[in-house]
Amino acid sequence: MFCSNCGTGLVVLRNRYRPIKTLGGGGFGKTYLAEDIDKLNEYCVIKQFAPQVQGTAALNKATELFEQEAKQLQQLGNHRQIPTLLAYFNQDNRLYLVQEFIDGQNLLDELKQQGIFNQQKARELLLDLLNILKTVHQQQVIHRDIKPENIIRRSDGQLVLIDFGASKQLTATVMTQIGTTIGSFGYASLEQMQGGKAYPASDLYSVGATCFHLLSGIHPWELWQRQGYAWVVSWRQYLQQPVSEDLGQILDRLLQEEYQQRYQSAAEVLQALNSKPIPVTQPVTPPVTPTPRHKISIPIYLVVIPLIVLMGGGTVYLPRQTNPVTIEQKSKSADTYYNEGLEKYNNKDFRGAIEDYNQAIQINPNYANAYINRGLAHYNLGNNQTAIEDYNQAIQINPKYANAYINRGLAHYNLGNNQTAIEDYNQAIQINPKYANAYINRGLARYNLGNNQTAIEDYNQAIKFNPNYADAYYNRGLARYNLGNNQTAIEDYNQAIKFNPNYADAYYNRGLARYNLGNNREHPLLAETLK
């Protein structure tokens, strides 16, 4: 009932909200954990407006931001991953905001306690956070202060985005007063920090910076102080563990210095995260035929020399015989290296496999399978350009090699060359019109170019030739979802789950489609449970 420090009686705001513990404070106010007396002492959070600013202009700006937070929370409604606004009022000439209490730990504390995020955990963060932002931006709101401290992981594992105190209603361009900085150093984009402007892409930059912090353990502000925004080009060198090519490319685009070069919506990033090409990951393994027996051939000196002896030619010195390397022996040696490389590849020793394929190619420069398998090993190490050179060699030796075209297309796809990838998939399909993987990969390239309908046609072909192809149903569902066909997307996700009951992404996306149809009880929590 009384403050333990000064003895002042504690106020029960509006005869309902009773502060019980200080949670923190900032430049605009103080935050308290409180009890809602009218709801059986259920926990809530009280924000008291107590700005530590000087001057009328600064006070007015602080008041605007505080009121703005209440308006944005009310506008966003009862989203499960955004705190609900419970009350906003003036009492004794002070402003108060009361919101839902989120029981959990913010991601900065999680980083300190559990260590850096691995790639899978970072990917799950992006999927969850971007789905929140998709809703926020659809409501014409920009958060403007995304960082690990403002993301709480609830006890059920789901993320909640908090602190909309810096958020702003989106107009054609959101712009604060000249000289006003909104956001947190290190996480805020160039246009926010220098020009006071903000776009949905500004929030996406903050998402990328947040993801980098959690993957590396390094606060982006530390790098910014030394390099400015140049750190976004070399961010990989600060990681303790490398990330995959596709995730790396997504973070590259999120962290572009110029906002026009970034993704322009959360939906675009989700599309990139969910569109996973289906590579031909197993190397080609043609049977190695036994080496034929050699015909016995008698060297000519074994015939001539005895004749010389019989003819009285005297002492004869036989030359020391060396074993000539026959074509058959070369072939056998190349196959031996090839198979050793294959075994190392299957054990994920990609560098060792490359050394063996090098030997096979040195012995037999026309060994197309060795080139394509060496390309696959390079591909798995993230060396897409080197892989392409190997596939080029395989195609030069065998222009009808469909696998070489599809794998070269996949490497081009990973480099962002979607149109070039499509041309390779066209070649693979021309050689083998029933090549389901070629259709699904061509569909993904078309999907990335925004051609959802033609992508669907490719997925239809993949399903025609392989009716149990879970990935084809999944990707067709994504394309239909983007076209606004939630019900048909659900049917595709059902098929993907039927053929792969552990397909977590299919459950998640099916939940999103159901959510869009108003089936909120079937929100995508099953995917998290499954994972």
Supply the residues annotated as catalytic: 145
Residue type, 42: E
Largest Cα–Cα separation, the chain: 133
| Rounded-to-integer distance, Cα 435 and Cα 119, Å | 31
What CA–CA distances, in Å, run from 276 to 253, 454, 529? 17, 17, 22
| Rounded-to-integer distance, Cα 121 and Cα 91, Å | 44
Residue type, 12: V
Assess contact for 167 and 143: CB atoms under 8 A.
Answer: yes
What CA–CA distances, in Å, run from 37 to 1, 100, 103? 14, 14, 18
Q: Which residues contact 310 (CB under 8 A, 6 or more apart)?
A: none
3-state SS, residue 475: helix
| Rounded-to-integer distance, Cα 221 and Cα 209, Å | 10
Assess contact for 46 and 13: CB atoms under 8 A.
Answer: yes
Q: Which residues contact 289 (CB under 8 A, 6 or more apart)?
A: none
| Rounded-to-integer distance, Cα 148 and Cα 186, Å | 12
- The conformation of residue 41, written as its DSSP 8-state character, comes to T
3-state SS, residue 174: strand
Phi, psi (degrees; rounded to nearest 5) at 24? 155, -175
The CA-CA-CA angle for residues 123, 124, 127, to 5°, reads: 90
Assess contact for 485 and 494: CB atoms under 8 A.
Answer: no
Task: Tally Cβ neighbours within 10 Å of residue 444.
Answer: 27
Closest among 139, 161, 136 to 151, alpha carbons compared:
161
What CA–CA distances, in Å, run from 291 to 286, 334, 370? 15, 12, 18
| Rounded-to-integer distance, Cα 101 and Cα 29, Å | 17
- The conformation of residue 211, written as its DSSP 8-state character, comes to H
Phi, psi (degrees; rounded to nearest 5) at 318? -75, 135
Phi, psi (degrees; rounded to nearest 5) at 227? -120, -10
| Rounded-to-integer distance, Cα 508 and Cα 67, Å | 35
Assess contact for 279 and 407: CB atoms under 8 A.
Answer: yes
Alpha carbon 438 to chain centroid distance?
A: 23
| Rounded-to-integer distance, Cα 398 and Cα 374, Å | 16
| Rounded-to-integer distance, Cα 313 and Cα 308, Å | 5
